[in-house]
């Protein structure tokens, strides 16, 4: 048995591998990972995982990667960023996903393909209540569209070619080990660049990477998950509490300003227009929409069908652990 993990050097991929080793009792030799030529793989080498150096942008570099693979956990993707072109985003997040799924289908060993998707497929405008999997899809940027296109094509491969696919729609992924969302927010709070937006009462869903990894593993054990898509979350939290819990954990660096949403949106537009091409603005309209409006998921489907229950539902504790990890790894600014 060989398990392939893409995105293994990233946040979710790393958490998933640790769960596979500790809780599923896999050995390093059972795990094959895909990594770019210049990516550091010291941790993966230490557990003696098989490391394949390749690039989703270069299909020829992936030849033979599916040999003897029984399960694929496909986490690799380019995240939301204005500095990446639509062409590159689609090539990596959409086309490469389909290419490796088709290669997987050709293997006699193939059993399960698990895809890390995003609640971005619903777009940015949510109602005030948690939405279920059949809610209208309305992607608003290249990243969100690439995830929806990949989902749809994988389901098509399931229906027409028998691919056993499960897609997990993650909200924002946080927790210990997060060098992206948590680090950016904390540094913004420390630098006094983060204001409250509007009343701050809007709630959003978040998932701890450990819960997301557990959901992916659960989907490989439940036949009912075949051809299914699931929402997932660890907790819902208001914007104000989200900012305040981070501020408390990093030294009482609470926001000192509050801006109306319309003003923050105009400022974000200005920053985008004045940021040099090829660079990403710290403040942009996507992030304003991310924090200023409700974005909650209904997870009854994964709970009833797969028996999923989040183990990290205490939002303040998760945020504290995430910041403590940053502190222990010397990633926080003074």
Complete DSSP assignment for 1-59: -EEEEETTTSHHHHHHHHHHHHTS---GGGEEEEE-TT---HHHHHTT-EEEE-BTTBG
> Residue 323 and residue 178: Cα distance in Å, rounded?
9
> Residue 107 and residue 69: Cα distance in Å, rounded?
8
Mean pLDDT across 1-9: 93
Banded model confidence at residue 333, pLDDT cuts 50, 70, 90:
low
Q: Which two tokens stand for residue 107?
A: 């293997």
Mean pLDDT across 3-9: 95
Q: 128 to each of 42, 181, 198, 203, 236, how far by Cα in Å? A: 44, 23, 15, 8, 12
| Confidence (pLDDT) at 218 | 97
Q: CB 164: neighbour CB atoms within 10 A?
A: 20
Banded model confidence at residue 310, pLDDT cuts 50, 70, 90:
very high
What residues contact 265, with CB distance under 8 A and at least 6 apart?
Answer: 285, 288, 289, 292
> Residue 243 and residue 262: Cα distance in Å, rounded?
19
Report whether pLDDT(281) > 80: no
Measured distance between the N- and C-terminal CA atoms of the chain, rounded to whole angstroms: 47
Banded model confidence at residue 288, pLDDT cuts 50, 70, 90:
confident
CA within 13 Å, CB half, 149: 17
Do residues 74 and 115 make contact, with C-beta atoms less than 8 angstroms apart? yes
Pick the CATH number of 2-175+206-234 from 3.40.50.261, 3.40.50.10950, 3.40.50.720, 2.170.190.11: 3.40.50.720
What does residue 66 show for φ and ψ, rounded to 5 degrees?
Answer: -95, 0
| Confidence (pLDDT) at 131 | 98
| Confidence (pLDDT) at 334 | 56
Report whether pLDDT(283) > 80: no
Report whether pLDDT(111) > 90: yes
| Confidence (pLDDT) at 31 | 96
Mean pLDDT across 303-314: 98
Do residues 30 and 3 make contact, with C-beta atoms less than 8 angstroms apart? yes
Measured in whole angstroms, how far is the alpha carbon of residue 72 from the centre of its chain?
A: 16
What residues contact 127, with CB distance under 8 A and at least 6 apart?
Answer: 294
- Total-model pTM: 0.94
| Confidence (pLDDT) at 79 | 85
| Confidence (pLDDT) at 292 | 87
CA within 13 Å, CB half, 39: 18
| Confidence (pLDDT) at 306 | 98
| Confidence (pLDDT) at 105 | 96
Encode pLDDT of 167-219 as tens digits.
999 999 999 999 999 998 999 899 888 899 999 999 999 999 999 999 999 99
Mean pLDDT across 147-169: 98
Report whether pLDDT(307) > 90: yes
| Confidence (pLDDT) at 200 | 93
How does strand 203-208 pair with strand 235-238?
antiparallel
| Confidence (pLDDT) at 80 | 72
The domain ranges of the chain are 2-175+206-234
Banded model confidence at residue 85, pLDDT cuts 50, 70, 90:
confident
User: How many residues are given for the chain?
Assistant: 334
| Confidence (pLDDT) at 48 | 93
Report whether pLDDT(82) > 90: no
Closest CA relative to residue 331, chosen from 175, 184, 174, 173: 184
Do residues 74 and 113 make contact, with C-beta atoms less than 8 angstroms apart? yes
Banded model confidence at residue 7, pLDDT cuts 50, 70, 90:
very high
Banded model confidence at residue 59, pLDDT cuts 50, 70, 90:
confident
What residues contact 40, with CB distance under 8 A and at least 6 apart?
Answer: 9
Do residues 223 and 283 make contact, with C-beta atoms less than 8 angstroms apart? no
Cβ-in-10-Å burial (0-12, 13-18, 19+) of 238 comes to middle
């Amino acid at each position: 048995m060989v398990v392939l993990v893409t995105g293994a050097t990233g946040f979710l991929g790393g958490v998933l591998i640790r769960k596979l080793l500790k809780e599923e009792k896999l050995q390093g030799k059972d795990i094959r990972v895909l990594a770019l030529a210049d990516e550091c793989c010291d941790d993966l080498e230490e557990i003696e995982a098989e490391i394949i150096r390749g690039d989703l942008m270069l299909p020829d570099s992936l030849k033979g990667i599916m040999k003897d693979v029984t399960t694929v956990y496909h986490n690799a993707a380019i995240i939301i960023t204005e500095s990446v072109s639509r062409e590159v985003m689609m090539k990596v997040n959409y086309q490469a996903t389909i290419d490796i799924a088709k290669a997987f289908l050709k293997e006699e060993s193939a059993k399960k393909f698990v895809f890390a998707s995003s609640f971005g497929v619903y777009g940015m405008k949510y109602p005030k209540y948690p939405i279920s999997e059949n809610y209208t899809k309305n992607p608003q940027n290249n990243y969100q569209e690439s995830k929806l296109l990949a989902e749809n094509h994988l389901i098509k491969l399931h229906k027409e070619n028998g691919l056993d696919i499960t897609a997990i729609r993650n909200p924002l992924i946080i927790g210990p080990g997060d060098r992206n969302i948590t680090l950016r927010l904390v540094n913004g709070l420390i630098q006094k660049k983060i204001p409250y937006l509007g009343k701050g009462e809007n709630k959003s869903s978040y998932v701890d990477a450990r819960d997301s990894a557990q959901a992916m593993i659960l989907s490989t054990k439940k036949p009912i998950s075949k051809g299914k898509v699931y929402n997932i979350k660890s907790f819902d939290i208001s914007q104000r509490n989200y900012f305040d819990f981070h501020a408390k954990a990093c030294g009482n660096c609470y926001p000192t300003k509050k801006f109306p949403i319309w003003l923050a949106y105009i400022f974000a537009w200005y920053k985008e227009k004045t940021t040099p091409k090829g660079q990403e603005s710290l403040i942009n309209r996507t992030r304003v929409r991310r924090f200023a409006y409700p974005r909650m998921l209904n997870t009854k489907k994964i709970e009833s069908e797969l028996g999923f229950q989040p183990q990290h539902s205490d939002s303040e504790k998760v945020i504290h652990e995430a910041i403590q990890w940053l502190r222990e790894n010397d990633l926080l600014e003074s």
